[in-house]
Amino acid sequence: MQSRFIAALDSFGYSNSIEVILVAVSGGVDSMVLASLMNENGFKIAVAHCNYQLRGADSDSDEKLVRDWCVERQIPFHSRHVATQELVDATNDSIQMVARNARYAFFSELIEQHSYATTALAHNLDDRIESLLINVLRGTGFRGLQGMPSQRKGLIRPLIGISKQEIREYAKENEIPYREDVSNSETYYLRNWVRLRLLPMLNQADPDAFSKLKELTERAEKEMSQYEKWVNAQLSEIRSDNGLYIDGIHGSKAPFTLLKEFLKPKGFSSDQVFEVLDIMNSESGREVVSETHKLIKDRTQLIVAEKDSSEDEPILHFELLERSEIKSFKESKNVALIDAELVGAGNVWAISLSSIFVLRKWRQGDRFQPLGMKGWKKLSDFFIDEKLSMIEKEQVWLLTSGNEIVWVVGHRIDDRFKVSENTKKVLKIMA
């Protein structure tokens, strides 16, 4: 076990490191063994502990164990108390998600503040196999077959190739103190169900199941760099300015895989990737929404944008000017010059602009007279002329007065409100 532990650190590039490695220690057997191995083998370490305040005195006892262990060995100790339940109530996120976000944020802060080399996590081989099975149950792509990677930016997992049983035996032989988390014996959480129910059933069906799953995770990780090169090359060929070209996806030998890789960082699940595959053959306007992003089928493309990016009203600034003060009518698209008197804003001191103007989203059937035209034009046709995508259309705001469109904000004013030779006062509107 010692030799595999050192070999893992060597593969990460830290076997002869003189830098300090931050070790995440909960007080459980895995993290206490990891910290002990790091310390006994001469690595410079500091310890980080999160007290999630979920188990009352037990949580405090965990913290005390880790602190006392560090004090005895003169190892720098960092702790953070997390009001986990309060954060759960405030965000509606799961306890696991809140705790995970809190600890990784804590690790990142410590790395930045103290210039630690990396964070060592105590995930073991059992954790890796459990993650693989969870990924499969949730509908994974090739990336998920790793279970969990042995390292990624800012994180290393030196025990990822060592089983839980080996770790427990090492702790017993070397009298390493640790504390048990009673929640690990509950089957309420999916990971615990996989650990306590599914894995024993697999091992009963095939005594070599564990070793076969181990080989799968290792093989997947070994081939990951080539896989990523292939994915990036394929996506570069079908990527559009705002998303992906549908013909390119159809022409791919692995459309699900490419969509999965493209959409997962944007919060889309595997089930939603299948939904996207379905809407590619449907009419424009169909959409699939994740917690953070929105995907819309728009003619020949799948366009993706951050969700609600168009919901906030633009903040408009108004300035009343004399006609003689206008030197040029060439303004950016975010500036509109209109005849103030045509909207009842000839005397800025006597009126309230909020009583004159209303900002709203465009609706089907809206029409206006684009600057330079005398006839009416439907906004939907105007958007086609402007080559706006479905998502760009959703981001359009209208500045109206008396139910008439004065300005398609950021695009065009209505010809009826333009500044003419007879204009005396100009209302300059800036978005």
**Which residue in 291, 138, 146 sits closest to 213, CA to CA?**
146
Percent of the chain clearing pLDDT 70 (strictly above): 95
What is the DSSP secondary structure assignment for residue 195, as one 8-state letter?
I
Report d(CA 212, CA 289) in Å as an integer: 37
Domains of the chain plus CATH, in order, are 2-222 (3.40.50.620), 239-306 (no CATH), 317-430 (no CATH)
Taking residues 373-387, report their average pLDDT.
Answer: 91
pTM for this prediction = 0.72
3-state secondary structure of 59: helix
Strands, DSSP E only, in 52-110? Answer: 77-81
Task: Taking residues 140-169, report their average pLDDT.
Answer: 95
Q: Catalogue the E-assigned strands of 86-237.
A: 119-120, 151-152, 155-156
Residue 325 clears pLDDT 90, i.e. is over it? no
Band (266; pLDDT cuts 50, 70, 90): very high
Between CA 259 and CA 279 the distance in angstroms is: 13
Is the predicted pLDDT of residue 308 greater than 70, yes or no? Answer: no
pLDDT average, residue stretch 110-134: 97
Spatial neighbors of 291 by CB under 8 A, at least 6 apart, are: 267, 307
Task: Tell me which of 346 and 248 has the higher pLDDT.
Answer: 248
pLDDT for res 350:
44
Collapsed DSSP state (helix, strand, coil) of residue 124? coil
Predicted confidence at residue 185, as pLDDT, reads 59
Q: Higher pLDDT residue, 270 or 122?
A: 122
pLDDT band at 313 (very low <50, low <70, confident <90, very high): confident
Tokens representing residue 2 in the block: 């010692």
Average confidence (pLDDT) over 363-379: 92
Rounded to whole angstroms, the Cα distance separating 245 from 423 reads 48
Q: What is the mean pLDDT of residues 206-222?
A: 96
| pLDDT at 220 > cutoff 80 | yes
Distance CA 366, CA 381 (A): 10
Task: Please tell me which residue, 181 or 382, carries the higher pLDDT value.
Answer: 382
Please give the helix or strand (H or E) that residue 373 lies within, else none: none
- Find the mean pLDDT for residues 46-62: 94
Distance CA 355, CA 16 (A): 71
| pLDDT mean over 35-51 | 96
Q: How sure is the predictor about 188, in pLDDT bands with cuts at 50, 70 and 90?
A: low
User: What is the arithmetic mean of pLDDT over 81-92?
Assistant: 92
pLDDT at 347: 61
What pLDDT, in 10s, does the model give residues 285-295? 888 989 889 89
Beta strands in 127-201 (DSSP E): 151-152, 155-156
Find the mean pLDDT for residues 178-205.
83
pLDDT given at position 393: 83
Q: Kindly state the average pLDDT of the residues 178-188.
A: 71
Select the more confidently predicted residue: 324 or 212: 212
CA neighbours closer than 13 Å in the CB half-sphere of residue 266: 19
Q: What is the chain's mean pLDDT, rounded?
A: 91
* 394: pLDDT strictly greater than 90: no
Contact of 96 with 132, CB cutoff 8 Å: no
pLDDT above 80 (res 187): no
- Beta-carbon contacts of 51 under 8 Å, excluding residues fewer than 6 positions away, are 59, 60, 62, 63, 79, 80, 81, 82
Q: Where does the pLDDT of residue 111 fall: very low under 50, low under 70, confident under 90, or very high at 90 and above?
A: very high
Per-residue burial over 188-198, b if 16 or more Cβ lie within 10 Å, else e, is eeeeebbbeee
Alpha-carbon gap, residue 407 to 47, rounded angstroms = 59
Q: How confident is the model at residue 186 (pLDDT cuts 50, 70, 90)?
A: low
**Is the per-residue pLDDT at 351 higher than 60?**
no
Taking the C-alpha atoms of 135, 101, 24 and 145 in order, what is their torsion angle to the nearest 10 degrees? 10
Q: Which of 52-61, 174-183, 399-408 has the lowest mean pLDDT?
A: 174-183
C-alpha 269/C-alpha 285 separation (Å) is 20
Q: Is 386 left (phi over 0), alpha (psi -120 to 50) or beta?
A: alpha
The average pLDDT across 159-187 equals 88
